[in-house]
């Protein structure tokens, strides 16, 4: 298995550095993840697996289904790809089809995508984004970014879009602070999905 640290320079070079700077209850509790400033990097990898920090339980209103709560804990034992997005964000629109492509390609490997919609005070516009871009995975509707408290006080909530890949124990394995192409994300997701229990336990 190719070490993640060897992938990092390639992914940073391949990634186009674009991003958007930047009503409802959402909760995020617990976790041990501590974000460390990447020094200008847009792709950060946390290895070995045994040293990864966990995030709290992200939980909040489902964007598309009124009265339904969507939580990270719904996906126990699965690799989870968190994508923080807003319909007002051009790079979010640019990467939407790439994220959907990776989701479709990896969901049979025990991978779940979960969006976190932020700073959209008009829920119907965020819902239109999902429909117009044929996004089939769920999103938490969180205009005030409360769910991101699970990612620690030092986490850069001004960088949108951001994509975070959690391993099967919901520990942070990779963070992308930029718009992504499917070719950037899919190899990382597949590598993490294929990690053995021995590797995860250190």
Residue 183 CA to residue 14 CA, distance in Å, equals: 9
pLDDT at 45 over 60: yes
pLDDT score at 17: 38
pLDDT, one tens digit per residue, over 131-150 is 999 999 999 999 988 888 88
Judge contact between 162 and 177, C-beta under 8 A: yes
Average pLDDT for 126-135: 97
Please tell me the pTM assigned to this model.
Answer: 0.83
Q: How many percent of the chain have pLDDT more than 90?
A: 64
Measured on CA atoms in the order 39, 95, 57, 26, is the torsion positive or negative?
A: positive
Separation of CA 189 from chain center: 11
Among 1-5, 35-39, 132-136, 168-172, whose mean pLDDT is lowest? 1-5
pLDDT reading at 18 higher than 60: no
Indicate whether 24 pLDDT > 60: no
For the chain, list the domains and their CATH numbers. Answer: 4-197 (3.40.30.10)
């Amino acid at each position: 298995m190719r070490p993640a640290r060897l992938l990092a320079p390639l992914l940073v070079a391949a990634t186009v550095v674009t991003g958007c700077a930047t009503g409802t209850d959402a909760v995020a509790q617990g976790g041990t993840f501590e974000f460390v400033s990447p020094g200008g990097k847009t792709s950060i990898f946390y290895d070995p697996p045994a040293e990864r920090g966990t995030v709290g339980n992200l939980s909040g209103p489902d964007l598309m289904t009124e009265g339904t709560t969507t939580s990270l804990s719904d996906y126990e034992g699965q690799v989870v790809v968190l994508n923080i997005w807003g319909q007002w964000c051009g790079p979010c629109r640019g990467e939407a089809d790439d994220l959907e492509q990776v989701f479709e390609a990896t969901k049979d490997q025990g991978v779940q995508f979960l969006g976190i919609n932020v700073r959209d005070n008009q829920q119907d516009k965020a819902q239109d984004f999902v429909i117009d871009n044929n996004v089939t995975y769920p999103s938490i509707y969180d205009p005030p970014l409360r769910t991101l408290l699970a990612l620690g006080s030092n986490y850069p909530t001004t960088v949108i879009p951001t994509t975070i890949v959690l391993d099967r124990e919901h520990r942070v394995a990779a963070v992308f602070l930029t718009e992504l192409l499917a070719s950037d994300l899919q190899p990382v997701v597949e590598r993490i999905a294929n990690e053995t229990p021995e590797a995860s336990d250190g």
